[in-house]
Amino acid sequence: MMQETLLSSDLVVRCLIGFAVGALIGLERQKRDIEESPGGVRSFGLLSLFGTVSAYTYTITSNSLILIYAIAVSTILIGVQVIYKMFRTMRKGMTTSIVLAISFVLGTIVGLDEIPAPGQIIGPLAVFAMTVSFLVFLVLGFKQEFRTAVEVITREEMISAAELGVLILFLWPLMPQTVQLWTITVPTFQIYLFAIILLTISFVNYLLVKKFRGRGPYFFGFFGGFANSEATVSSLTDFHVRTERAFPGRTAVGAVLANVAMVLRNGVLLIIVDPSLQIFRYYMIPLAILFLVGLYRMRRVSKRSEKVEDEQLEGALVSPFEFGAAIRFALVFAGVSVLSLFLQDIYADLGVLVAASIGGFASAGAIVAIVGIGFAGATMSLSTAVYAVVIATTTSVLNKMVYVYTSDRETTLLKMVAKDSLIMAAGVIIFILLLFFGILPIA
């Protein structure tokens, strides 16, 4: 019986995984070629395999001595490595020692895993160990990128990140799935989850904007537009005013990129909320129209853009992301959700289209998410969902004229942005008319 257990295919797979979870971490250490590193693929892999074999032996013999022995040996090995590094190489940092310990623990987890269910090759603990090993590999491999990101974060941004973490950790378990508001069933948790996703995207994009802002409004417009195109265009207009309206061409290109990014983002949101891709099939045509026309207008305008030193732009750029603005976006998302459901409850499909027309001025992303959720939940027809998504996106392209006008009454930039927005929207309006008259039927 013991021989059958030791010769099982489960043991072979377990040993391979036990070696692999440590070897993957050792691969990064070896590739980095750190002088004080105790080894690479073989050393890390064998240490994790040591944990696997000792833990597996404990599970089939119930004798804890072998596991205690393995823990003691690994502790001594890691301790020797720490002492050597501190007193012989005089180098700072504990990363290698920590990942050595992690390798042993991951191997032990694989050894303690239960026998896989019929039809499965590996158990849940092995999957967990492989996932952690991959995450550790990513953290080690992108060391420089993480360091660069941390260096550009200010105290206020760290506070915003902490607030976002609190918003996720503390509200997640308390958020109800739905709330009954009169005759409307509001999908509270879905609204909350989607708002959290957008908040996270906004914060990450803000860091990207900070990294590339010295290159001008182009990175600013695209990365900011992917998070919130309305806030980005307002910030670009503030930039235009602060530079005494010296660079309208660059600012207009940034606004075009904000619209292009917004259109692409809405396509991604549709894929997330409607995995069946039934809405996205029809959205692909306006997406292509807006994207290609936007790139064409950007190319035409950028040829006339003014030359300017990066230092001149550095002091004038305004952040497209603030935590307060993101919270207001979440509130708009919730408000538009309730308005859409209310109008749909009273006026059916017509109410959804009215909500899309109104909500597109505030947040096309909110409309896209709400419509996708409604269609996926079978509370909205495909034709209504397609019309609502396209109308909201088109309205969001056109609303840039309003945001520019409210921030700058001088007409030079307004004319350029209005021309770009109208040209981008014209093709989509034709597409809507073709749908309306049945020339392009919605199946």
Q: Please state the domain extents for the chain.
A: 2-141, 155-436
Per-residue tokens: 305: 């853009």
The predicted model gives 202-221 an average pLDDT of 61
Q: How far apart are CA 165 and CA 319, in angstroms?
A: 21
pLDDT for res 207 = 60
Whether pLDDT at 136 is above 70? yes
Comparing 414 with 159, the larger pLDDT belongs to 414
155: pLDDT confidence band, cut at 50, 70 and 90? low
pTM for this entry: 0.56
Whether pLDDT at 361 is above 80? no
Whether pLDDT at 217 is above 60? yes
- Which of 378, 333, 422, 274 has the alpha carbon at shortest distance from 282? 274
DSSP 213: G
Question: 372 near 279, Cβ under 8 Å?
Answer: yes
Read off the pLDDT of residues 162-186 as tens digits, 9 standing for 90 and up.
766 777 777 777 878 777 777 666 6
195 three-class SS: helix
Q: Quick one: 32 exposed, middle or buried, by C-beta within 10 A (0-12, 13-18, 19+)?
A: middle
